[in-house]
């Protein structure tokens, strides 16, 4: 049996994520298309506003712009193919394509986590260490801070993808609408304990560590604000925006991670839907949250609209 497994392994797969929701195919197409459209328009607008106004070139708004760029790219890694599946049942993908998609999706997710950590550090220096803010948050020093977690993300996710690429596969039906790590690995014939271990290690060293550092930063910020009275209440409003984004992101990420690792009665279609929301929901909500709650972005967006309206046709 082992010789048979070693001599044969599927290299072409079918994404079978929404097969239990066939009757909802057209409704799901509309939902995902509208969310994709909202993500593209919203994040493109945020990027355009931040690039257009020099007043928004400070570290905090650069970080928001980078988040908008990541949120703009992330849906392109799986939503267009998902829409083709709904319309034309185009659900085939090669192993190489699957591994590339897996890396892109997981790396973009890790970048979201890292950017949220950088935003928390930005608020920490702005509120708790204002005299050191320009020293640590100027572009060259910011790159030194950000490069370590970005390299960490790349190394760990590359290890996860490479290990998945070495497995022999006895089935080619991926119970997902994109190449999620555990959805692919559970099709393997051989021992997957090292894959599970590295996957858990990556989940611990990337989102978990980032979340602990983010929580610690905001705890220190809140203590500092409470001690200083009303002096930093305006700055605290920005922190509230970040916390809203982090909360939604972590809720969907937790569901996506745990549903493949614990026994549950959730239907496959619902599980896949929750996994896609982990990637797509923040991409749709982040520009709305930042655009509405961040006064400077909202003000400059309205200024841009007004300026465009007075231009001669």
140 by DSSP, 3-state: which?
A: helix
115 by DSSP, 3-state: which?
A: helix
Residue 286 to residue 46: CA distance in whole angstroms: 10
Residue segments in the chain with a per-residue pLDDT below the cut of 70? 1-8, 229-238, 241-242, 252-269, 307-313
The token pair at 287 is 């520009």
Q: Are 61 and 297 in contact (CB under 8 A)?
A: yes
Tally the residues of the chain. 313
Cα 13 to chain centroid, rounded? 24
pLDDT of residue 94: 93
Class of domain 12-166+173-305: mainly alpha
pLDDT of residue 4: 45
pLDDT of residue 311: 42
pLDDT of residue 2: 45
Nearest-CA neighbor of 165 among 105, 255, 96?
96
The token pair at 198 is 């590295």
pLDDT of residue 309: 58
pLDDT of residue 109: 87
Nearest-CA neighbor of 114 among 142, 79, 81, 86?
142
Residue 81 to residue 33: CA distance in whole angstroms: 11
Residue 273 to residue 270: CA distance in whole angstroms: 5
pLDDT of residue 169: 93
Task: Classify strands 92-94 and 12-15 as parallel, antiparallel or unpaired.
Answer: antiparallel
64-79 per-residue burial string, b: 16 or more CB within 10 A, e: under 16: bbbbbbbbbebbebbb
Q: What are the residue boundaries of the structural domains of the chain, listed by start?
A: 12-166+173-305
Longest Cα–Cα distance of the chain, Å, equals: 75
Residue 222 to residue 213: CA distance in whole angstroms: 14
């Amino acid at each position: 049996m082992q010789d048979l497994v070693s001599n044969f392994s599927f290299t072409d797969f079918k994404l079978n994520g929404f097969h239990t929701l066939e009757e909802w195919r057209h409704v799901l197409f509309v939902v995902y298309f509208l969310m994709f459209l909202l993500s593209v328009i919203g994040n493109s607008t945020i990027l355009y506003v931040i690039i257009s106004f020099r007043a928004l070139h400070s570290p905090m708004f650069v970080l928001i712009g980078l988040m908008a760029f990541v949120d703009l790219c992330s849906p392109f890694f799986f939503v267009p193919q998902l829409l083709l599946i709904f319309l034309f049942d185009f659900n085939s993908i090669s192993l190489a394509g699957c591994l590339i998609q897996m890396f892109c999706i997981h790396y973009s997710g890790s970048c979201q986590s890292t950017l949220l950590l950088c935003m928390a550090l930005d608020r920490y220096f702005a509120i708790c260490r204002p005299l050191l803010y320009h020293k640590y948050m100027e572009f060259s020093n910011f790159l030194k801070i950000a490069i370590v977690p970005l390299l960490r993300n790349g190394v760990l996710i590359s290890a996860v993808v490479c290990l998945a690429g070495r497995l022999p596969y006895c089935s080619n039906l991926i119970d997902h609408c994109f190449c999620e790590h555990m959805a692919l690995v559970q099709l393997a014939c051989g021992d997957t304990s090292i894959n599970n271990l590295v996957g858990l290690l990556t989940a611990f060293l990337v989102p978990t560590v980032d979340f602990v550092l983010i929580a610690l930063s905001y705890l220190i910020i809140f203590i500092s604000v409470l001690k200083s009275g009303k002096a930093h209440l305006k700055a605290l409003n920005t922190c509230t925006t970040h916390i809203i984004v982090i909360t939604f992101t972590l809720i969907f990420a937790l569901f996506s991670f745990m549903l493949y690792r614990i026994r549950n009665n959730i239907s496959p279609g619902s599980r896949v839907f929750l996994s896609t929301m982990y990637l797509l929901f923040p991409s749709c909500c982040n520009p709305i949250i930042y655009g509405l709650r961040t006064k400077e972005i909202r003000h400059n967006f309205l200024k841009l609209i007004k300026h465009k309206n007075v231009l001669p046709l």
